[in-house]
A and B are shown apart, each in its own frame.
Chain A
Amino acid sequence: MNMQTQNPTRIIFASFFKSGFKAKRTRVFILLSLIPVVLMLAARVMETAGSLAADASADFFAKVMLVLYFQLLIPVLALFFGSTIVNEELDNKTLVYLTTVPVSRRAVLLGKYLAAFLQATLLVGAGFLLCFLAAALTRLGEAAAWEELAVFLGTALLAMFCYSALFTAAGAFMKKSVLIGLFFVFGWESVVQYFPGITQKFTIIHWIKSLLPVLPGEGGFLIFQLQPSPAMESVLILLGAGCVFLFLAVFIFERKEYILSDNA
């Protein structure tokens, strides 16, 4: 017998990435991620029709990105994809199949994490691209427009990595992690990011916003108190925090005993 010819993390990733797209949850999120695209298209049509000022769609694009994507869609997608990595296995009582094969729990978690991360990132990335095309239709030849897209996409990737790792750890630790996650996203992150001084650095959104091409006061939408941190520091913090959360998720998952009920 030819044993261990392929990395188990890759096998789990490939299998769950494929089957994940069949899940009802993913279909709902595909629709959800199209909302900004529809709004962007509407803005574009209104601008063309003269109902909006010229170049208003570019400004609208930045707002759509910030408010709908970075403050809503990315955290929510990361929350549902991340927290269900372990919780769905518990709810469906399927964890037993992945923990009675000769594969480490670390490989199981990382495989499932990568599948969920890539699914969520693809949903966001596709929406981003469509929004960008709608907003920058007249300036697709400009390098600045593509640079702007690259910054948004890069930041989205980091944001998704960090948030999903956090919610994976939360899901590995507790069963009701979605509720806690919602409180974190819409409570802690929404409020504390506007606190002056160092306090806002205790949110993930602070580091994300520090990377976005929106200056304090500019754009004007609820960002007037942002005191951005340097870009490189923000990248390192987001990468570091994501790695720490992921390590924590693995640490918990390897040691925790999951009770699938009916323990007769």
Chain B
Amino acid sequence: MTAVLKAEKLSKWYGNILGISDINLEIGSGITGLLGPNGAGKSTFLKIAAGQLKPKIGSLTVFGAAVFGNHRLFRRIGFCPEHDSAYMEMSGWQFILLLARLHGFDRNEAGAMSEKALATVGLLESKDREIKGYSFGMRQRLRLASSILHEPEMLMLDEPLRGVDPLWRIKIMKLIKDYGKQGRTVIISSHILPEIEAMTSEIVLIHQGKIFAKGDIHRIRGLIDSHPHQVSIRCLQPRQLAQKLIDSDFVLSVDFDKDGHSLTVKTNQRDLFFTVLIGLIAESGLEIEEITSPDDNLQAVFDYLIGK
């Protein structure tokens, strides 16, 4: 693998607060998912990679060069920040056009590139509206447009699916996968495992500023699947549902909640449980109001993996 991004003994902290610590990592072409719970150090890592922060110790290079203060690199890099920020007084068109011009395109080319980027994220029709009138999801898509408009060789996306509606979530995932298939390098951060899983099998797990695991997602998935999951189901007939579930081998326990309309199921085979549950609901016609998984998040997985 030819490393596009290379981090060596990379550490960063803010005063007494640790951002990342002693990270050694090489990332090549294709999509790499950067996974970790909130506060794990994903954004710090990406901000150093995008030249927004300086490493405290160690180094990070992209295309063989340090990034901070190296503005020429940004012809080849696209960065989508996590912050919900934009020049609110500008229209979506003015914002993207400004960035296209700053990427060095002449007026006509910048116009064409901006139009293409806005069309890709579905904002062409609302391009003349002021950004402050956009919804959160639209602003998120606008940020994505700003990062892809110059068709970079390397794309870094910090939680790009946050706040995006389900339809656009699927479209953006496809866009990212297409980027990866073209041989470009894409680094995408998220704290939601299924999101990353839908785009790539190559993941880096970050926890408390350190790389916890790196490699194929299926290996990690195996560990996660054996992690006992709790699933809360709110329905009108909780006892009937419990009867149907209790005989299954993968159900470890069923508890009824005090409100009389909910039950919490503990399972050691999460995916199988959900498959069976959906079948049961379809067969029996039980009315389900809500299904939540209190520990279906990365923090719970990390806690499990590190044996807390």
Interface residues of A (CB under 8 A from B): 1-6, 8, 11-12, 15, 19, 22-23, 92-94, 96-105, 254-255, 257-260, 262-264
Contacts and interface: CB of A to CB of B under 8 A. Distances in A.
B85 A4 contact: no
B94 A255 contact: no
Contacts of B44: 263-264
Contacts of A263: 14, 17, 19, 43-44, 47, 53
Contact of B71 (A103, A258, A259): A103
B236 interface: no
B105 A1 contact: yes
A104 to B, nearest CB: 5
Given A1-B109, A2-B109, A96-B52, A102 B74 contact: yes
A100 B54 contact: no
Contacts of A4: 104
Contacts of B73: 102
B85 A93 contact: yes
A92 to B, nearest CB: 6
Contacts of A101: 71, 74, 99, 102-103
Given A3-B105, A259-B53, A93 B83 contact: yes
Q: Chain A interface mostly helix, strand, loop or mixed?
A: loop
Contacts of B109: 1-2
B86 interface: yes
Contact of A100 (B43, B74, B105): B74
Most buried by B among A15, A99, A102: A102
B51 A255 contact: no
Interface string B70-111: 011111011101111111111000100011011111100100
B229 interface: no
Interface stretch (B34-42, B114-122, B242-250, B295-303): B34-42
Contact of B69 (A97, A98, A255): A255
B143 to A, nearest CB: 9
Most buried by B among A6, A96, A255: A96
Contacts of B42: 264
Nearest to B42: A264
Given A2-B105, A15-B98, A102 B75 contact: yes
27 contacts: A1-B105, A2-B105, A8-B101, A92-B85, A92-B87, A96-B52, A96-B81, A96-B85, A97-B86, A99-B71, A100-B52, A100-B77, A101-B71, A102-B72, A103-B71, A104-B71, A254-B69, A257-B52, A257-B53, A257-B68, A258-B52, A260-B52, A260-B83, A263-B14, A263-B19, A263-B53, A264-B43
B72 A264 contact: no
Given A1-B105, A2-B109, A263-B43, A105 B99 contact: no
A102 B94 contact: no
B101 A105 contact: no
Interface string B46-73: 0100111110000000000000110111
A100 B83 CA distance: 14
Contacts of A1: 105, 109
Interface in B207-246: none
Contacts of A254: 69
Contacts of A104: 71
A198 B106 CA distance: 53
B295 to A, nearest CB: 20
Given A94-B87, A101-B103, 17 more contacts: A4-B104, A5-B104, A11-B102, A15-B90, A92-B85, A93-B83, A94-B86, A96-B83, A100-B51, A101-B99, A104-B71, A259-B14, A260-B83, A262-B43, A263-B43, A263-B44, A264-B43
B21 interface: no
A5 B102 contact: no
A159 B247 CA distance: 84
Q: Nearest 5 A-B pairs (CB), nearest first?
A: A93-B85, A3-B104, A101-B102, A93-B83, A22-B89
A105 B19 contact: no
Contact of A262 (B53, B83, B90): B83
Contact of A102 (B41, B69, B103): B103
A94 B69 CA distance: 17
Contacts of B262: none
Contacts of A11: 98, 101-102
Contacts of A259: 14, 53
B146 interface: yes
A152 to B, nearest CB: 32
Contacts of A100: 50-52, 74, 77-79
A84 to B, nearest CB: 13
Given A94-B85, A262-B43, A12 B105 contact: no
B79 A96 contact: yes
Nearest to B73: A102
B86 A8 contact: no
A6 B97 CA distance: 14
Nearest to A92: B85
Contacts of B146: 97
A205 to B, nearest CB: 33
Contacts of A99: 51-52, 71
Nearest to A24: B89
A13 to B, nearest CB: 11
